[in-house]
A and B are shown apart, each in its own frame.
Chain A
Amino acid sequence: MQIFIDGKRCGANQGETILAAARRHGIDIPTLCNHEALEPIGACRLCTVEITHASWKGWKGLVASCLYPVEEGLEVFTASAPVVELRQVILDLLLARCPESPEIRALAASHGLHQTTLPLFVEADNCILCGLCVRICDAQDYHALSTVNRGTTKEVGTAWKEPPADCVGCLSCARICPTGVIRYEEDQATRTIWGRKFELVRCTGCGRPLTTREHIEASRKRTGLKDEYYTCCDACKKKAVSDRFVQVGR
């Protein structure tokens, strides 16, 4: 099907969102809570665009492009005056929440906002409650994290704020966090995250940290792959394969 983004005719696929179509056509729409591997939730609202349609009798409105499904003939505006104003307001609000976050500062600056115009309501960390950590944990079926409380007291946490029994220490949450809020520590033999200590397994090849014992156990149960698969890192696995090629070649 055909849609129009900022006046440009773009091909789009049934069932995809405005954001997905726009990105395929190289049109930039800022996002904070979106990740290609996860279901969108429309929480940050930065991806809001203005839409209308020839058959809507002049009606137009703002929608979250990460959720709105495309339809034939849809006209999308990614930088109309109301869209730009809303984006400014959202970034302003986020800056007032986490004025020290380098990521938010950079994003705001790229929209011409160098400091917040609003009173500060600084939270203890730079969490923007995008929910990516919760969703990536859920997507892997671990369900160790959730948002707790509501409104301005909302935060990401584990059940009863205790070390989570369901966590395997895989670090997905820490790595997906757009503002780098989720901290973890590693020493020679252990990794600690969310207050829980895990046994760190090192690569039998290079000795670098591979992942945790709990993560390996959980993955092995699910995939049914052999133990050797989990003993060394990807780089060492590649090296082993290429070594074998070389030997065969000789």
Chain B
Amino acid sequence: MRIDTPNTLETIRTRLKKLDAGVKRRVLVCSGPGCAASGGFKVHEALVKEMRDKGLEAEVELAPCLERKDPLLVAITGCQGLCQSGPLVHILPDDILYTGVKPAHAADIVEKTLKGGEVIEKLLVKDPKSGERGKGRADIPFYKGQKYIALEGCGRILAESLDAYLAVGGFSALAEALTRTPDAVITEVEKSGLRGRGGGGYGTGRKWRSCVKAPGDERFVICNGDEGDPGAFMDCCIMEGDPYRVLEGMIICAHAVGARQGYIYVRNEYPRAVKRLTLAIEACRAAGLLGERILGSGLTFDIRISRGGGAFVCGESTALMRSIEGNVGEPRAKYIHSVERGLYNKPTVLNNVETFACVPSIITRGAAWFTGIGTPKSPGTKAFCLVGKIRNTGLIEVPMGTPLREVIFGIGGGMLDDRPFKAVQTGGPSGGCLPDSQLDLPVDFDALTRAGSMMGSGGMIIMDDRTCMVDVARYFLAFLLEESCGKCVPCREGLRQLHAMIENICQGKGKAGDLERIERLARNIKVGSLCGLGKSAPNPVLSTIKNFREEYEAHIRDKRCPAGVCRAITTFRIDAEACTGCMLCVKACPPGAVTGERKQPHVIDEAICTRCGACRMVCKYDAVKTV
């Protein structure tokens, strides 16, 4: 049905809300990247089959629920956040969150919970400290400290359904925005203080304003979904879990800046995001929410998907635009901003997925509401992906200004296996590593930059004492070396040299003066490179040298990797006093370098040992030490 006026929108919404309210119970199965990989779709399939077999009126979509007396919705959602414990199944209104669900659990869930109203204890998430099990989102510490704006619908509503989005108030922000002048919409966004969530933190309203001011007869809106930082999947989850919110943000932007064509640049490695965005765009076109005279206004706007080929550098705005144009994805200098000369040399607004996802709420709830969250200079919330040596790997959204400690030890549940915290890497390959002395840092754009890291798009990699910071620097350099477009000399040749220097240190071939040479080269790559990739590429090296200099020195001077990662300069030895002779390491050692009798201290034969660390990983008594 075409929604061609604001009145029709409200009529349809009223009907859908009634329909939604009539759903007595809903079983939401997570299809986020983690849960999908661990079998979320199979769980969904099994649940549907089991319910129907047991005579329950199970529906997978909202609309057919209308014809049911006692409808039960069993639906696919986007990421529900607690990826570590997936596949997740959330049952409402009971607020029961089942974790680690397998298709085999379907019978139990249907019989005990859905029919019997009983909670299955073993499927509840267990707090490793207290040993207590949390029943639902309301009881689980992971969810408690969070505040959702960009992720408001992600994991809660049906991922592929326009009806579901409309039922929770979708496109009311667009209807509201269309009653205002473009100027008033921009002023609202400016007042909200929303800053670009892609990492730069540039004022969104300011960007829109500059685009309007730029002379030109044609303007473009681009959504940057080319998320490529290792360990980051926020944008992926938003595009998969709540695609309509992103589209709504883009349409509002089009109204504000006067664009007729929009693009979503999304990497082809996100097939589910591409699929769901395509479905969402088609549904919006069919409903008249994209196309000519949207909601009866003068706005004509359409969105196309441009699929990226997987080059990290195409997340850089100017390279992205060249890629959409069909050219080689190489950045250009931004001395003339893309708001003036962007895609096809026309004024262009480019914002990140999460930024667009924040816009609808700002319009409906107002700038004052938004500035009431977060910090004065970084209002609102930020989505992060917690990965690495942390208990609760997953997707979170917290108010800006939340201390790192709260994010990692509160929401994140602390360190995996209770190992000591060593560093957190924020900002992706362009960011930096912060040590424990920075744990009380509030997470916002300016604080992270001052500390020598950056917000970036929101990947947060947590590292423990068995992570070698030199190796971390080498990893990020290797990534960037491969992903550099190769256009300018400092980035292409400089990163190759920098990587070789760090590699040398990891091999135990470092010399006195290396750090100074590295710092000089890094400094010049930063100032000399053409685009943001090169300008920020030395950050992981510089921040680890700044915060973990002694570890570099141990590698260079003592030819020793304290964390036991760099194989060439690692020696493992078993502490005879700590060893209980449990034989675990003897069995785990691939080349058979560990020997010993039960209940006798074991010994590692250095000549055979390959320094893989398997013995250390399995040891429950921390008896395997680095020398």
Contacts and interface: CB of A to CB of B under 8 A. Distances in A.
Contacts of B524: 85-86, 89-90
Interface string A81-94: 01001100110011
B481 A82 contact: no
Q: From A45, A62, A90, A129, name the one whose CB has the most chain B CB atoms within 10 angstroms.
A: A45
A18 to B, nearest CB: 10
A193 B492 CA distance: 28
Given A62-B527, A151-B483, A151-B484, A44 B489 contact: yes
A50 to B, nearest CB: 9
A154 interface: yes
Contacts of A153: 486
A2 B500 CA distance: 45
Interface stretch (B181-189, B249-257, B330-338): B330-338
B488 A44 contact: yes
A89 B517 CA distance: 11
B492 A82 contact: no
B25 interface: no
Contact of B486 (A61, A64, A151): A151
A147 B500 CA distance: 25
Given A118-B497, A151-B482, A93 B335 contact: no
Given A43-B488, A86-B524, A63 B493 contact: no
B493 A96 contact: yes
Q: From B313, B330, B332, B489, name the one whose CB has the most chain A CB atoms within 10 angstroms.
A: B489
Given A43-B488, A147-B486, A64 B530 contact: yes
Nearest to A148: B328
Given A89-B494, A94-B489, A94-B493, A69 B335 contact: yes
Contacts of A121: 493, 496-497, 500
A128 interface: yes
Interface range on chain A: under 10, 10 to 19, 20 to 34, or 35 or more?
Answer: 35 or more
A96 B347 CA distance: 41
Interface string B297-340: 00000000000000101000000000000001010110110000
A98 to B, nearest CB: 10
Interface residues of B, number: 32
A93 B499 CA distance: 13
Contacts of A129: 486-487, 492
B494 A151 contact: no
A153 to B, nearest CB: 7
Given A69-B335, A150-B486, A42 B493 contact: no
A67 B496 contact: no
Contact of B484 (A90, A118, A150): A150
B125 interface: no
Contacts of B486: 129, 147, 149-154
A154 B328 CA distance: 12
B448 interface: no
Contacts of A43: 487-489, 530
A67 B484 CA distance: 21
A86 B528 contact: yes
A25 B410 CA distance: 63
B431 interface: no
Interface in A139-189: 146-147, 149-154
Contact of A42 (B484, B497, B527, B530): B530
Q: From B335, B481, B521, name the one whose CB has the most chain A CB atoms within 10 angstroms.
A: B335
Nearest to B313: A150
A105 interface: no
A68 interface: yes
A62 B523 CA distance: 12
Nearest to A32: B489
A89 B492 contact: no
B529 interface: yes
Contacts of A67: 333, 335
A45 B333 CA distance: 11
B493 A150 contact: no
Contacts of A151: 481-486, 492, 495
A69 B528 contact: no
Contacts of B494: 89, 93
A211 interface: no
A63 B335 contact: yes
Contacts of B335: 63, 67-69
Contacts of B311: 150
A41 interface: yes
Interface string B133-168: 000000000000000000000000000000000000
Nearest to A17: B335
A119 B497 contact: yes
Interface string B279-291: 0000000000000
A136 B186 CA distance: 43
B336 A93 contact: no
Interface in B457-498: 481-490, 492-497
B332 A41 contact: yes
B520 interface: yes
A202 interface: no
A94 B492 CA distance: 10
A212 interface: no
A86 B490 CA distance: 9
A97 interface: yes
Contacts of B529: 45
A48 interface: yes
Contacts of A69: 335-336
A119 B496 CA distance: 10
A136 B482 CA distance: 28
A82 to B, nearest CB: 7
A69 B493 CA distance: 27
Given A67-B335, A119-B500, A90 B489 contact: yes
Interface string A186-198: 0000000000000
B310 to A, nearest CB: 11
Interface in A65-123: 67-69, 82, 85-86, 89-90, 93-94, 96-97, 118-119, 121
A129 to B, nearest CB: 7
B528 A154 contact: no
B343 to A, nearest CB: 18
Q: From B332, B336, B482, B496, name the one whose CB has the most chain A CB atoms within 10 angstroms.
A: B496
A150 B488 contact: no
A133 to B, nearest CB: 14
A150 B483 contact: yes
Q: From B336, B483, B484, B493, name the one whose CB has the most chain A CB atoms within 10 angstroms.
A: B493
A85 B523 CA distance: 10
A129 B483 CA distance: 17
Contacts of A93: 489-490, 493-494, 497
A188 B516 CA distance: 58
Contacts of B490: 45, 86, 89-90, 93
A152 B481 contact: yes
Contacts of B313: 150
Interface in B223-237: none
Interface of B: 311, 313, 328, 330, 332-333, 335-336, 481-490, 492-497, 500, 520-521, 524, 527-530
Closest 8 CB pairs of A and B: A154-B486, A93-B493, A89-B524, A151-B484, A67-B333, A151-B486, A62-B527, A86-B528
10 contacts: A42-B332, A43-B488, A45-B490, A63-B335, A67-B335, A86-B490, A89-B528, A90-B489, A131-B487, A147-B330
Given A90-B489, A151-B492, 17 more contacts: A43-B489, A44-B489, A46-B489, A64-B530, A67-B333, A89-B490, A93-B489, A93-B490, A93-B493, A93-B494, A128-B489, A129-B486, A147-B487, A151-B484, A151-B486, A152-B484, A153-B486
Interface of A: 41-46, 48, 61-64, 67-69, 82, 85-86, 89-90, 93-94, 96-97, 118-119, 121, 128-129, 131, 146-147, 149-154
